[in-house]
């Protein structure tokens, strides 16, 4: 056996200050099995590197986080739909006055679209930084006792995709109240006065 064989194997093992990855753990297992075959050695399970239980349990929390995100997104969509329907009906008189002054249906629909996109953009401006701050605090609380110093990453492409999807959903939600605002006649809206 050459010394290069063992030097390459030892290179892949963990050293102090270096975290164990799936590749390094697999590499260590193959090294241990070759050592057991070559020499009369034994590696009991107590010497194996295992992640702390709290870290292993973090993976089981993933479904909870996804469910919470989905529920909050659904709640935001319902709140936006409610706000648009209520404000369009309450501003029926104003929309009637604007129609009497010459605003066509497409322009009244655009008013509702702009309101929906403005509310969605405001939610994103407040929600994304707030989510990052709360997420960092939750991550620090989850791994603080374990002794790991891992800075949480901010997936910028995911944030952009979520923002684009939120704006698209906000626009889709505004289609029904916008259509109502565009197709209601000025006489009907002004009759309530």
Domain boundaries, the chain: 3-50, 55-190
Whether 143 has a pLDDT exceeding 50, the answer reads yes
Average pLDDT over residues 121-146: 86
What does each C-alpha distance from 144 to 137, 147, 149, 178 come to in angstroms?
10, 6, 8, 49
* Tens-digit pLDDT profile for residues 71-109: 999 999 999 999 999 999 888 888 888 888 888 889 999
pLDDT digits 0-9 by tens, 50-77: 666 666 677 777 788 889 889 999 999 9
Alpha-helical runs (H) found in the chain: 3-11, 22-38, 53-58, 62-90, 92-100, 105-143, 156-173, 175-183, 186-190
């Amino acid at each position: 056996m050459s010394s290069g064989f063992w030097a390459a194997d030892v290179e892949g093992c963990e050293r102090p200050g270096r975290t164990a990855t799936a590749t390094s753990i697999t590499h260590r297992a193959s090294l241990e099995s070759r050592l057991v075959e070559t020499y009369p050695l034994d590696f009991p399970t107590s010497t194996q590197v295992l992640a702390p239980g709290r870290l292993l349990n973090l993976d089981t929390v993933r479904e909870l986080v996804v469910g919470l995100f989905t529920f909050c997104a659904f709640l935001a969509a319902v709140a936006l739909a409610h706000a648009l329907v209520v404000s369009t009906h309450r501003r029926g008189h104003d929309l009637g006055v604007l129609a009497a002054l010459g605003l066509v249906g497409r322009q009244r629909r655009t008013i509702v679209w702009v309101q929906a996109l403005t509310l969605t953009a405001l939610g994103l401006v407040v929600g994304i930084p707030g989510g990052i701050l709360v997420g960092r605090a939750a991550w620090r609380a989850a791994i603080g006792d374990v002794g790991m110093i891992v800075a949480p990453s901010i997936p910028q492409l995911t944030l952009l995709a979520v923002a684009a999807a939120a704006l698209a959903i906000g626009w889709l939600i505004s289609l029904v109240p916008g259509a109502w605002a565009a197709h209601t006649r000025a006489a009907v809206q002004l009759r309530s006065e």
